[in-house]
Structure 1
Amino acid sequence: MKRQRAFFHTLRLPRFRRITLPLLLLLVFTATSYSLVGRQTATVPLPGLVMIDAGHGGYDPGVMSNGILEKDITLAIAKQLQAALQARGIPTAMTRDSDIDYADSGTKGSSSKRSDLNKRLELTEIQQATVFVSLHINNSTLATRGGAEVFYSEQNEGTAELAAAVQSELHKIPQMSKRDAKPGKYYLLRNQEIPSLIVECGYLNIADERARLNTADYQKKLAEAIANGLDSWLQKNK
């Protein structure tokens, strides 16, 4: 049986883009729409659309510590991030808005994970996103301090600047350990043609940070910081 699939999409016009009546009429008569898992989605590309990916989900819990699951925290932060970007007039889409995965039925292990990641890449391309942000949580017994850190794709021009902008905003969160943005070789970064980030929002194995990550208040602070970094970069590159 095929695992459940779902897709959530929200579009808001950026505050820096003025839409005239002729342009609105043009959009109405030239835009087409299609159904993706029972939802209608506009195919008209808008500048600055951010695809938000809540890491893991469904069969894949991600890292775990003291009963706290990565997939739950990433989804909570993703929803807060979408709200924060919408408040800034930035169009968004999400790869998931519930506890689901995209693994093909009958697959196991790395094959299951690869099919899940490929679907997230496909959704990003379908939505004609201009920026991709995947949210994750770290867990390493080798880590002696916490902190959020941003990884970026080197092959896309301007992505290092985007990562630095987001990392700088994360540094402003009280009690945040200072880490540097750095290039990453992750599958989701290597296989994108748009500026792409993976944001590791903290470490579950660090007790005090684990406690903060599990609160709505801290999740909102993370989301607001990421949104501020994205917004400043988009404003400079619009």
Structure 2
Amino acid sequence: MNKLKLTIKAMIALATLCLLMASMSAQAGTQVEGIRIWPAPDHTRLVLDTAGKVDHNMFALSNPSRLVIDLKNTRLNTDFDKLDLSGSPVRRIRSATRNGTDLRVVLDLVSDIKPRSFQLEPNQQYGHRLVLDLIDESGSRLEKATKPTVTHDSAGKRDVIVVIDAGHGGEDPGAIGPRGTREKDVVLKMAHILADMINKQPGYIAKLTRTGDYYIGLRNRTILARKYSADLFVSVHADAFRTPQPKGASVFALSQRGATSETARWLAQSENRSDLIGGTGGVSLDGRDDMLAGVLLDLSMTASINASLGVGSSVLGKLNSVARLHKSGVEQAAFAVLKSPDIPSILVEAGFISNPQEEKNLATDWYRRKLAGAIMNGVDEYFRKTPPPGTLLAWQKQNRQGGNAISQHRVQSGDTLSGLARENQTTVSELMQFNGLRDDRVMVGQTIRIPSS
């Protein structure tokens, strides 16, 4: 009987201990184990590494500007003071225990922001994360949109604008090679090299969607290209596969299936109605009925895909001379960054970072320069053949500088500028611009220079 009593007491003690441990575990909750910050021109991303999922609530305060984040059943296990806040709207981060078990984090801000938060599951590099986006709605730190620029020609012929997009960035490392090389780092360095090469080429100017280690949403990358009035959008990536064998560079354009879905998306969203489609054509969806808008979008998207395939083929041909190709032709897929209805867009996979040899190559400056040079040459080859109207390249092609394609005509009685334009398959305005004429009047004996058409 005594043994039975002892056994019952032991079981009760064990059950009590288990309940106590469960209670302590529940009280312990999770913890913040680290913090990172990624300042971007239009937003700043603050990432809290947590031991597990966390319930949280946040609210913004003004005068002075602050953001308060309450994390339930959480304790702090890192040092916020060691975080470099330069380049961000955050002046200071404070924290304190709240209600005995909760953690309150306060961000002292330079100005008011619009906050957004979400949680991420563990990946191959990080564990659980609470992501806080501090959005600068005023756009005070964002590089202003540019109109077509003139940098190389005093006669006012604009540059071809190429927007270069380095994939991934910030909290998104992209693919990671066997030696730990991160895609986001490789493609950013390569994008800078490519931009420098383009900017040194007369008749071109380059813009970058991201200039540092931060993340930009996929749709926002194409929005930036449109704000820059881009003639071409080039997104640079480094491929990966589950096995180390695949290798080689690839070039992608948008698939027709992706174009169809994108047309539907543009028609479905009312804010797109006032957005210009076809930068040089000035076609607008504003005020159009669905049928006409659909036709305009379909025509614009088809032209954009055809141009993308053309420039992609030129780039692939140049890459073939400096690197191994994964596929011999331009591939097509429904990548979100390629879905601009009015801008020819290509995605270049510089190689497989999951392949040990290609990872080693991509980590070197000389190889990145070889690839960037090939992309530049491919882009230039395409635009020399099909330059956008109004550009220096279009003017050079029409005049074929350095050749014997410019003819001269001595004006005779009865000649008119419009008649000369018709005979030589050009326009009156082109003849006026080419000869520096203020009007369309010509005089007998006057020499008119005529470019080949």
Same fold (TM over 0.5): yes
TM range, normalised to the smaller chain?
0.7 to 0.9
Q: CA deviation at 1:38?
A: 5.2
Alignment check: 8 A CA contact 2:165 2:235 kept: yes
Runs of 4+ in 1 over 3 A off after TM superposition: 38-42, 44-47
> Is 1:148 aligned to 2:249, yes or no?
yes
Higher strand proportion:
2
Q: Does 2:213 align with 1:99?
A: yes
Deviation at 1:218, TM superposition (A): 0.2
Q: How does 1:62-81 map to 2 (within 5 A)?
A: 62-65=174-177, 66-81=179-194
The aligned residue for residue 86 of structure 1 is: 199
Unpaired segments ≥5 residues, structure 2: 1-36, 43-138, 150-157, 256-301, 388-453
Higher relative contact order (CA 8 A, sep 6+): 1
Could you tell me which amino acid in structure 2 is paired with residue 179 of structure 1?
A: K
Gaps (5+ residues) in structure 1? 8-34, 103-115
CA-CA distance at 1:201 after TM superposition: 0.4
Tell me how far apart the structure 2 counterparts of residues 51 and 38 of structure 1 sit (CA, whole Å).
Answer: 16
Do the aligned residues in 1 keep the contact of 2:162 with 2:207 (CA within 8 Å)? yes
1:167 correspondence with 2:316: yes
Q: Identity, % of aligned pairs?
A: 28
Within the candidate set 219, 227, 231, 1:118 is matched to 219
The count of residues paired between Structure 1 and Structure 2 equals 198
Q: Which amino acid aligns with 1:37?
A: R
Aligned equivalents of 2:229 and 2:169: distance in 1?
A: 23
What does residue 209 of structure 1 align with? Answer: 358
Residue 186 of structure 1 corresponds to 335
**TM-score, length-normalised on structure 1?**
0.76
Cα deviations by residue, 1:162-211 (Å, 9 ceiling, x for unpaired): 1110000000015x245221112111112442110000000012111110
Output one character per residue of 1:72-125: Cα deviation in whole Å (capped at 9) or x when no partner. Answer: 0000110110111122221110001110113xxxxxxxxxxxxx1122111111
- Offset, 1:42: 3.7
Question: What is the root-mean-square deviation in Å for CA atoms of aligned residues?
Answer: 2.4
Deviation track 1:24-51 (CA, whole Å, cap 9, x = no partner) reads xxxxxxxxxxx86254554245442000
Q: What SS does the corresponding residue of 1:91 show, helix, strand or coil?
A: strand
Q: Structure 1 residues 211 and 151, CA, compared in 2 at 3 Å: closer, same or farther?
A: same
Please tell me the residue identity of whatever aligns with 2:161: L
- Relative distance call for 1:164 and 1:143 in structure 2 (3 A) is farther
Match of 2:172 in 1: 60
Cα distance in 1, alignment partners of residues 140 and 352 from structure 2: 35
How far apart are the structure 2 equivalents of 1:177 and 1:38?
Answer: 37
Measure, in 2, the Cα distance between the counterparts of 1:192 and 1:178: 27
